[in-house]
Amino acid sequence: MKPYSMRSSLLLTIIMMGMLTVGFTIFTGEIYLQQTLDNRLQAFTELVELEVHNRWDELKEETRSLGLSVQSSRAFKQALEKQDKKLVERALNQHFHRAYVTLGIVNLRKLIVYNPALEKVYQSSDGDSMEGDVCADIMPKARQRTGASRYKTLHQVCSYGDDLRLVTLVPVGGLRLTGYLLVVTDPLPNLSKAEAGVGIPVMIKNAQQQVLFKSDNWPLPQNMKNVMLVTYGNRAGNQQAIAYFYFASDVTALNNKLFKTRITLVSIVLVTTLVAIIIALAMFRRMILTPLKKITRYLHRIRLDKTHLNDKLEVTGSKELVGLAQEMCSMSRELSRLYHQFEEMAFTDSLTGIPNRALLFDRLEQMTLSAKRNANQPEFMLLMMDLNRFKAVNDELGHHVGDELLVAVASRLKLALRETDTVARIGGDEFAIILHAVSDKQVAVAVADKITALMNDLFLIDGYELDVGMSIGIARFPYHGDSGEDLMHSADMAMYHAKRNNLPYVFFSQGLAD
């Protein structure tokens, strides 16, 4: 092979680097173009979500105000007191011709009156013809409420045929609850106003992808090439999306501007690169590239293994890189200290010093996932525990005594366990224990008896003799839950059953879930 002079080699290197730089510039320009479009899409998406949520909130407030307006009318009150069906219907029908409806504030579809037991008693004759309940899920939720929550307004959005309906359950009678008023509205006219709020055309579809609304200026199919389509599936409080919003933003001008910017950038880079490479290439390897590679390898080792945080880094080259290496060494030592400190804080309860909820749940998930991969994984038990009279200690003796009591409880719980078991404080006066490799119910009973005995012994805290006691719920993997979350839920149910029935411990059974 014919040898080349250093000058030729350098020139060839410069030319190749120039070509690579231009190619890289074009490539990064494409990335920049895509990132710009992505950023704009993200910004529009956030704007769309905010606008849709605002529309829902405004509509819910308007329906609530409508419900309060209905029940505050004199005719409605008198008709309801007389329990005259025709008078009540007439009073309800009058509101289909009031300003709320005639001015397009809400699209009222039905007004229904329920008694305090949430049984339908009256309804408007105007509006939709409804045989069954609209948004039937709202009634079970309302019937489950107790105490002051019964006086709160409930909202529910659901499908109604091919349309959407918003139902608002408003209590009637104020503090002297005499019933409920269900306001049924069609939210589509209000939601379609999102077009004006965002300033771009909108199309709304239901969960079956049927078009409910489309702006008059929605772009034609042949013009969609230069349109950025923002899609947002809105659940409106449901588990699945109940409506889909599509916003069409014309990005023709943005694409043209970005294209011109890219051409200008490439031209500048072509000129600048040739000059800069000639000046910088000779110094680049010795002063920049070599020390940077060394720093990169150092960071790579740290990324793979945090134990390298204390490794020493020494480089030669430019003054700035030498200083950077020194600062990185100092920073890595500090990060090493913080890493171990944060790791301990993240998984340890600051009051009792035992594992916290995060570590407990992590271990549960690891054990359940491992069991799903390995059929020979041993079974285990989960105990959820709650102090019986802790609130009284806090209220009567103060939080300081309560905190010391929790520390003492944690210490006694550790006495009841093996080294392989895990005890954790999961919040307040709740604790949990994982009995590793335990499938025999009697073993769990023995542990529960031991814990009960330890908890029944009086606690001496700041001169007070405290008798608190503990309720324990026990769940067995995988029979009472095949995930950490399900297992904790089962043990929780058993624990609350034990607390309600003044029992020291209860094993979960299907009867508790019924």
What residues are annotated to the active site? 429
Pairwise CA distance, residues 415 & 454, whole Å: 9
CA–CA gap between residue 459 and residue 425 (Å, rounded): 18
Q: Is 80 exposed, middle or buried (0-12, 13-18, 19+ CB in 10 A)?
A: buried
Q: Which strand (E) or helix (H) includes residue 62? A: helix 6-72
75 and 84 Cβ atoms separated by less than 8 Å: no
How are strands ordered across the β-sheet holding 108-114?
120-123, 108-114, 179-185, 163-172, 154-160
Report the SS3 class of residue 177: coil
112 - beta bridge partners?
123, 182
Cα 367 from Cα 478, distance rounded (Å): 11
- Asked, as a colleague might, if the bond just before 478 is cis with ω within 30 of 0, I would say yes
Q: φ and ψ at 465, to 5 degrees?
A: -95, 115
Closest residue by Cα to residue 477 from 422, 434, 443, 447: 434
Residues 235 and 207: their CA atoms lie apart, in Å, by 10
Question: How far apart are the C-alpha atoms of 257 and 252, rounded to whole Å?
Answer: 9
CA 97 to CA 107: how far, in whole Å?
A: 11
Tell me the C-alpha to C-alpha distance, in Å, between residue 39 and each of 42, 178, 234, 256, 309: 5, 53, 21, 17, 35
42 and 232 Cβ atoms separated by less than 8 Å = no
Q: Which amino acid is at 172?
A: V
Strand order in the sheet with 380-387: 422-427, 430-435, 380-387, 470-477, 505-507
Whether residue 413 contacts residue 432, with contact meaning beta carbons closer than 8 Å, is answered with no
Beta strand extents in 85-148 (DSSP E only): 108-114, 120-123
Closest CA to 197 of 54, 82, 299: 54
Report the first-to-last Cα separation within the chain, whole angstroms.
86
3-state secondary structure of 92: helix
CA pair distance 246, 48, nearest whole angstrom: 9
What's the DSSP call for residue 286? I
By CB neighbour count within 10 A (0-12 exposed, 13-18 middle, 19+ buried), where does 460 fall?
A: exposed
